[in-house]
Structure 1
C-alpha cells in the first residue's frame, strides 16, 4: 500500500467515489491522502438552487470528506463543464504534484461521456510529466509518482480492469461514512451513486478473492507482467 496518494478529478466527488476506498484504507494505515478537483462540479446543483452557493457547498463537502480521512482537499477555479484544456491548467496541477509529492497519483480513464473527465485525464498526464522533469520552471523539486486511472461509470468506453487494489473492511466502512458528506451521493435522483459504487467495490473484491477492491488501468506501455526467473 502506498503511503501517500493524490487523487485528481474533474469534479468534486469523482475521485471520492471511484478511489475513495483506497484513499480511506491508505489513511487508516497511516498514510496521507489529498483530493484535487479541477472544477467544483457546481452545475449539478439541486433544482432551483443558486449555482454559486452550491459551489461553496461542494467545496465544503470536499473538505469534509478529506477531513474524515485525515487528509486535505483542494479545488481549482475552473467552471464546471468548461475545464480549460491548456498548459495553464497543466502547470497548476504539476505544481500541486511537486508540492504534495505523492507516491501514487490517480485520475480519470482517457475515454468518457463527460468532456471535463477526458480533459482532466489529458491535463494530469501532461502535468505528471512536467512535475517529474527538471527542465520545467515550476516551484519545488521534480517529483515522479506512479500514475493510474480510476473506474468510473461515466468513463466506461475502453475501460478494462487491470490493477486491483484491495480495500480493507475498515476502509470500506470509513468510505461509506465519508462519502455521505456529498449531497449528490445522498440526495440526487439522477443516479444511485452510493448503491452503484458500494456494489462495485464488493464485485471487484470478489473478482480479486478479497472482500472489497477498486480497479484501475495503467498506461498502455505499462501493461506488462514480468515474471521472475
Structure 2
C-alpha cells in the first residue's frame, strides 16, 4: 500500500497529547478535505491508568472521531524520551515517509518532561529530514516541510496565532472522552491530574483563547519563525 502524503503531520509524546493541544484544529482541517496524520513517539506504557492495549484502542477511536487518516505509534520509551540520535532519526523517517506540508509538535515549556523532549526531538528531525545526505532507516528521499508549529498541552502561554475551532469543539471533546482510562475514574483507577476536571480545564483554555481573538473557541499555537502575511494583512471587515 502506498503511503499517503500529509498536509499536516502532528507529533505527540503520548496518545492524547495531540488531541489536548490541537484536536479542534485537526478536526477543522480534515473536515475541509486535508490529510492529517498523527504520530505518537511512545506507547505510554508508564501511564498510571489503563494499559498499552487499551490506550491504543482509545487512540484509534479518538483519531477516527477527528477524521485523522493515519495514526502511527513509535516504540521510544515512555519517560525515556531524550534528544538522542535514534529518536531524531525515527522522527525524521516519519517526516520523510508522509512528506507533510506543515508539522506540529508540543510546545517545549510544559510540566511533563516528555512533552518538552518530544518538542526538541521534532525540531531536530524537522531540520534533519530535509538534508539530502542525512541517513534514516527508510529509503525515502529528503523532505523539508514548510513550517513547524507548536501546540500547548499543559499550561496557558501567549500564542503567536490562533485557529478558530468553535465549530469543532464538540469533536475535540468527543476525542478526549474516547480516552476513558485517562480522564475518567474507574474501579481500578488512581487519581491523577487528568482525572480531576482536565477536559473541563482544556475547554476553559480554548474558550479563553477564543475570547482573545473574538471567537467562542480557539486553539493557540507558537512558531519558531515569523509568519509571512502577504494577502490578508487587513483581515475581515
Q: Distance in 2 between matches of 1:11 and 1:117?
A: 8
Where do 4+ consecutive residues of structure 1 move more than 3 Å?
186-189, 223-228
16, 24, 27: which is aligned to 2:27?
A: 24
Q: Distance in 1 between matches of 2:143 and 2:56?
A: 27
Q: Distance in 2 between matches of 1:129 and 1:83?
A: 19
Is 2:40 aligned against 1:41?
A: no
Q: Note the alpha carbon deviations across 1:69-102, whole angstroms, 9 max, x for none.
A: 3322111112211124211111111111111122
Q: Secondary structure at the match of 1:141?
A: coil
How many pairs does the alignment contain?
215
Q: Distance in 1 between matches of 2:66 and 2:124?
A: 28
With structure 1 as the length reference, what TM-score do the two structures score?
0.85
Q: Give 1:148's aligned residue.
A: 149
Q: Distance in 2 between matches of 1:197 and 1:85?
A: 28
Q: Note the alpha carbon deviations across 1:35-71, whole angstroms, 9 max, x for none.
A: 111112232233xx6xxxx011112211111122332
Query: Do the aligned residues in 2 keep the contact of 1:107 with 1:150 (CA within 8 Å)?
Result: yes
The CA deviation at 1:208 is: 0.8
Q: Give 1:222's aligned residue.
A: 226
Q: Distance in 1 between matches of 2:59 and 2:126?
A: 23
Which structure 2 residue ranges, 5 or more long, are not aligned? 1-5
Tell me the C-alpha RMSD between the 2 structures. 2.2
The CA deviation at 1:163 is: 1.3
Is 2:210 aligned against 1:205?
A: yes
Structure with more of its chain in helix, by fraction = 1
Which structure 1 residue ranges, 5 or more long, are not aligned? none
Q: Secondary structure at the match of 2:46?
A: helix
With structure 2 as the length reference, what TM-score do the two structures score?
0.82
Q: Note the alpha carbon deviations across 1:103-160, whole angstroms, 9 max, x for none.
A: 2211111223222112111110000011122121243222222101111225x6xx43
